[in-house]
Amino acid sequence: MARPRPLSGYPEYSPAERLVEQQVLDGLRRVFELHGFASVETRAVEPLSQLLRKGEIDKEVYVVRRLHEAADTEVGDDTLALHFDLTVPFARYVVENSGTLAFPFKRYQIQKVWRGERPQEGRYREFCQADIDVVGRDVLPAHYEAEMAVVMSEALSALPLPALRMQVNNRKLIEGFFRGVGADDPAAVMQAVDKLDKVGAEGVRTLLTGPAGLSAEQADACLALAAISGCDPSVLERVRALGVHDPLLEEGIADLGAVLEATAGLASERFSLVADLSIARGLDYYTGTVYEMRMEGFESLGSICSGGRYDALASDGKTVYPGVGISFGVTRALAPLLGRGVLTASRSTPTCVLVALGDDAARAAAGRTAAALRARGIAAEVSPDAAKFGKQIRFAERRGIPFVWFAGAGEDGGDQVRDIRSGEQVGADPTVWEPPAADLRPSVVRAG
Amino acid sequence: MARPRPLSGYPEYSPAERLVEQQVLDGLRRVFELHGFASVETRAVEPLSQLLRKGEIDKEVYVVRRLHEAADTEVGDDTLALHFDLTVPFARYVVENSGTLAFPFKRYQIQKVWRGERPQEGRYREFCQADIDVVGRDVLPAHYEAEMAVVMSEALSALPLPALRMQVNNRKLIEGFFRGVGADDPAAVMQAVDKLDKVGAEGVRTLLTGPAGLSAEQADACLALAAISGCDPSVLERVRALGVHDPLLEEGIADLGAVLEATAGLASERFSLVADLSIARGLDYYTGTVYEMRMEGFESLGSICSGGRYDALASDGKTVYPGVGISFGVTRALAPLLGRGVLTASRSTPTCVLVALGDDAARAAAGRTAAALRARGIAAEVSPDAAKFGKQIRFAERRGIPFVWFAGAGEDGGDQVRDIRSGEQVGADPTVWEPPAADLRPSVVRAG
């Protein structure tokens, strides 16, 4: 075949890049599981009727058909399409398996999703998401809204990412506030305020006093709310100081306060959590806490991690399943970091020790040496052939393998192992020798 | 929504079943990495021109299209389709990245693949494969053909599967033999012998003396070869005793002998490796060792693991990339074991300790207890609410969580932890208490 070219929007990693991604995914999984989240995987396809319920994203969906049926042009409810997120499939999984799942049910889900968007940095057609959700039957206590922020911040803080900033808000608070200022259509106000990033305060004011039907004073109050942000409970005092009164607003203030209190200990050099009263999240099903997250130096990517509380994402008609969840855009965050060389791996293979070959007859003995190392968890492989030792060392160098093992190289006839970075070569026995802990597995290296 | 029903051919697991699958995938990865295989993931889609090069499986391919383009009926080389195995995408990845990969390149790849086949036990439309391959540039030493068998047998022997039987053969050996008996079309002979399982010796004889154009004596010799199998190098003597001579046959005998020698130590109660001279593998690109594997008690599934040596799977016109690989059908092997209840997990959540709540005001303190346990790698979560202790214990029981933690329950006012299986309750400090190692994580339980 002619050399194939990459497909735009379908990122693929080199082995070293994939090692970075694996460590990121391992780190996420470890924290999710420590917090009692069980892994779920759903099939890649859903019937269109499931995917289009929200009605927003039909253009982005990929339809899937057997090749000999590809001439069919009709698309129906049963037509299968690739999932575009992990929330819709999870909601379907919950209803389908509600008879056997134990509620409240905590699950994490790390899978690829597909969207037919125009590709650009941070936007791909195939990309990996890592979601956590808690879903209840009929009820779900509000404390899980704080727990989501705690779990995701703990998981992401442990990763080799730039500093992260999580923004939280509460839908009840803003909807109650907009109602309290006398807005007839709080949803229209929310949609206008949601454009603050894009059109600025004056642009939002125009939307509020135009399509959303607010007076200049009402619009000012809404913009004053959206301007409030901060890390501590004093932000709630600033909301109260705006003098708007509404029962839903009070509920929202209490819920946001509880989230701020429960997450007060999370701040670090690498992570901050702020209440940002301008955050609304576009999708209309959130009903409580909402989350977004940005990565320092990569603000142009937008939110790399978002979610919220939904009181009725899933329902089978008789029973409703309220939930709260956050989705981390693994590829959206990681592909730019790998692409710009911010992150790389210390080597391109798991191998820690290359066992050199003096001659081809020594292969069986070299294999036993490698097996002895592996038996103690040290990744080891034998040279592909008995080339000159210089060539075998270059084989290791090209892959970043730190150690090369030489059988019978010592004056006493014993084995020796060389750290090819320092050149230091010492006597070693494959049944007891250990590499430094930092060299046992490939590590993630951050530039700068 | 009405309760959705499962889609035939798209297996989805319960959380407990998924825990079993995760342990299987973790076990595979661990062994692959110890042997120096690097992980690669390729995108889910390939252009049809890549997928249909072998020309055999066009009916099984799923074409992928954006919804608003679904009315297009034309299918061309650039039309994207879901990959149906991991070998074709890997070959494309190797050629695409040949400038940066270090050869010989050892990779493992664990991903979903899709085929539009009629679903039945062991045959799915979406399923997971775990592949290992070594690929060289221009050349690839024959010793890797033995290494593949060693690595895969080590990986699979460590899994909680029924006893496994790997069958190996060598394409040079059988092709040389068929040439040596005077067959004009060794490929036709191979195809006929490949049907031994399905049509029996008499059926194969009819094919050999009919379409394949052999005399009765020639057919007898080929059937005599196919009847040979055994674990030790004496099988090679039995091949020689058939009195057929051919240079390619001699090469094949030497290569198969080398594989048998290198794998002689692998046999265990759970794993056997036999040379089976009837194994040919249908796909036409194998050129050396071929592998198949069957699972005891599940012979009806056919081969759950197969592969072989290919001298020219990938090529960019100037350079050829020979390889050898084996693919394990994770879903094919596992879904029937889970479906029949042969394998299950000891619990349905990673959680090891449920921290009980005396009242809602104790949530923050309970959260600190859980955090202290997690800090030492013990998965812990706090009760959803301060229900009666009996109800909180049932919460743990339903999920198989082995331990429930009670703050201040001791006579001395200290914490206590109860093993809810035995009912034993002892004083415990969350900063030092450890569960038995067997309870730390969910384990896989084999029935019978």
- pLDDT tens digits, B398-431: 999 999 999 999 999 999 999 999 999 999 999 9
Determine how β-strand B126-135 pairs with β-strand B80-82: unpaired
Q: Do A18 and B39 touch (CB under 8 A)?
A: yes
How many whole angstroms separate alpha carbon B305 and alpha carbon B241?
A: 31
Which chain A residues are Cβ-neighbours of B41 within 8 angstroms?
Answer: 12-13, 18
Nearest chain B CA: its distance from A303 CA (Å): 24
Q: Do B126 and A44 touch (CB under 8 A)?
A: yes
Rounded to 5 degrees, what are φ and ψ at A385? -155, 170
Give the type of residue at A188: A
The C-alpha torsion from A28 through A34 and A38 to A42, rounded to 10°, is: 0
Per-residue model confidence as pLDDT tens digits over A202-222:
999 999 998 889 999 999 999
**3-class DSSP assignment, residue B170:** strand
A376 touches chain B (CB under 8 A): no
Which chain B residues are Cβ-neighbours of A380 within 8 angstroms?
Answer: 34, 36
Q: Do A63 and B64 touch (CB under 8 A)?
A: yes
Give the type of residue at A214: L
Nearest chain B CA: its distance from A181 CA (Å): 34
- A276: pLDDT strictly greater than 80: yes
Q: Do A81 and B67 touch (CB under 8 A)?
A: yes
Which residue on chain B is closest to A95 by alpha carbon? B3
**3-class DSSP assignment, residue A251:** helix
Angle between helices B186-193 and B216-226 (to 10 degrees): 50
* ipTM of the complex model: 0.95
- A150: pLDDT strictly greater than 80: yes
Rounded to 5 degrees, what are φ and ψ at A395? -55, -45
- B55: pLDDT strictly greater than 60: no
How many whole angstroms separate alpha carbon A161 and alpha carbon A300?
A: 16
Burial (0-12, 13-18, 19+ Cβ within 10 Å), B397: middle
Determine how β-strand A416-419 pairs with β-strand A403-406: antiparallel
Per-residue model confidence as pLDDT tens digits over B380-404:
999 999 999 999 999 999 999 999 9
B215 touches chain A (CB under 8 A): no
pLDDT score for A418: 98
Which chain A residues are Cβ-neighbours of B105 within 8 angstroms?
Answer: 15
A394 touches chain B (CB under 8 A): no
CATH tag for A15-42+87-344 (out of 3.40.1670.10, 3.40.50.720, 3.30.930.10, 3.30.2090.10): 3.30.930.10
Closest CB to B374 among A34, A61, A136: A34
pLDDT score for B197: 86
How many whole angstroms separate alpha carbon B255 and alpha carbon B257?
A: 5
Rounded to 5 degrees, what are φ and ψ at B317? 95, -50
- A1: pLDDT strictly greater than 90: no
| Contacts with A141 (C-beta within 8 Å, 6 or more apart), sequence order | A104, B384, B385
How many whole angstroms separate alpha carbon A18 and alpha carbon A26?
A: 12
DSSP letter for each residue of B403-444:
EEEETT-STTS--EEEETTT--EEE--TTT----HHHHS--E
What DSSP element (H or E) covers B202?
A: helix B196-209
Contact (CB, 8 A) for B170 and B255: yes
Closest CB to A4 among B19, B92, B114: B92
Which residue on chain B is closest to A321 by alpha carbon? B1
pLDDT score for B280: 84
**Predicted confidence band at A67 (pLDDT cuts at 50, 70, 90)?**
confident
Give the type of residue at B279: I
Contact (CB, 8 A) for A208 and A189: yes
Closest CB to B381 among A36, A45, A80: A36
pLDDT score for B60: 85
pLDDT score for B448: 62
Here the contacts of A198-202 (C-beta below 8 Å, separation 24 or greater) are A201/A227
- Dihedral sign for Cα atoms in the order B389, B390, B391, B396: positive
Task: Tell which residue, B111, B126, B162, has the closest CA to residue B13.
Answer: B126
- B57: pLDDT strictly greater than 60: no
Q: Do B98 and A36 touch (CB under 8 A)?
A: no
**Predicted confidence band at B283 (pLDDT cuts at 50, 70, 90)?**
low
CA distances from A40 to B16, B19, B351 (A): 9, 9, 15
How many whole angstroms separate alpha carbon B86 and alpha carbon B313?
A: 13
How many whole angstroms separate alpha carbon A219 and alpha carbon A215?
A: 6
Percent of chain B scored above 70 by pLDDT?
96
B335 touches chain A (CB under 8 A): no
Q: Do B36 and A349 touch (CB under 8 A)?
A: yes
Q: Do B67 and A61 touch (CB under 8 A)?
A: yes
Q: What is the mean pLDDT of residues B312-325?
A: 91
Q: Residue B177 has what DSSP assignment?
A: H
- B70: pLDDT strictly greater than 70: no
Determine how β-strand B62-66 pairs with β-strand B80-82: antiparallel
A93 touches chain B (CB under 8 A): yes
Task: Tell which residue, A391, A376, A364, A398, has the closest CA to residue B147.
Answer: A364
| Contacts with B19 (C-beta within 8 Å, 6 or more apart), sequence order | A38, A39, B345, B347, B348, B350, B442, B444
**Radius of gyration (Cα) for chain B, nearest Å?**
27
pLDDT score for A233: 86
Q: What is the mean pLDDT of residues B175-183?
A: 95
**Predicted confidence band at A70 (pLDDT cuts at 50, 70, 90)?**
low
The CATH architecture annotation of domain B353-446 reads 3-Layer(aba) Sandwich (3.40)
Question: What residue segments make up the domains of chain B, in order of their start?
Answer: 353-446
Residues 224-283 of A with CB under 8 A from B: 262
**Predicted confidence band at B73 (pLDDT cuts at 50, 70, 90)?**
low
How many whole angstroms separate alpha carbon B430 and alpha carbon B355?
A: 10
Which chain B residues are Cβ-neighbours of A92 within 8 angstroms?
Answer: 1, 4
Task: Tell which residue, A302, A346, A249, has the closest CA to residue A17.
Answer: A346
**Predicted confidence band at A60 (pLDDT cuts at 50, 70, 90)?**
confident
Q: Do A19 and B39 touch (CB under 8 A)?
A: yes
Nearest chain A CA: its distance from B73 CA (Å): 5
pLDDT score for B69: 76
How many whole angstroms separate alpha carbon A139 and alpha carbon A118?
A: 39
DSSP letter for each residue of A208-238:
HHTTT---HHHHHHHHHHHT-EESSTHHHHH
How many whole angstroms separate alpha carbon A404 and alpha carbon A395?
A: 10
Per-residue model confidence as pLDDT tens digits over A72-114:
667 788 899 999 999 999 999 999 999 999 999 999 999 999 9
Q: List beta partners, residue A316.
A: none
Nearest chain A CA: its distance from B219 CA (Å): 38
Per-residue model confidence as pLDDT tens digits over B100-114:
999 999 999 999 999
Residue pairs spanning A and B at CB distance below 8 A: 237
Contact (CB, 8 A) for A396 and B36: no
